[in-house]
Amino acid sequence: MIRIDHLDHLVLTVASIEESCAFYARVLGMGVETFAEGRKALTFGNQKINLHQAGHEFEPKAKRPTPGSTDLCFISETPIDDVIVHLKAEGVAVEVGPVRRTGAAGAILSVYFRDPDDNLIEVSNTIS
């Protein structure tokens, strides 16, 4: 049997790599890494999100890579009320929240908003 330990990276197909890098760095404080002949990735903790430009994806790729088809949830140490204040200051509209949800490790308090490709982004605090 295969035993998975953790997620190393995922790939997000975007309309504009530059716009996505700017958004995730400005709004979520992620790092931007250049690797392997100029490819871009968003970094946070010990994980990363590799970016593929729609129509110019790297092989192998998903069967139907499409900007705006992803839902992502990030756990933040920043209190959710401060997240909301920051999002508003950055001109990012909160669609839902704060609301209680169930995350991978238990209860979370979440807010939802959209990235430049209309992917659904959830930022959450764990609830003890």
Whether 95 is catalytic: no
Catalytic residue among 33, 57, 90, 122: 122
DSSP characters over 5-74? ----EEEEEES-HHHHHHHHHHHH--EEEEETTTEEEEEETTEEEEEEETTSPPSS--SS--TT--EEEE
Q: Are 80 and 125 in contact (CB under 8 A)?
A: yes
Centre a 10 Å sphere on the Cβ of residue 24 and count the other Cβ atoms it contains: 23
- Cα angle, residue 36 at apex, residues 31 and 47 outer, rounded to 5°: 35
C-alpha span between 85 and 99 (Å, rounded): 16
Would you name the residues annotated as active-site residues?
A: 122
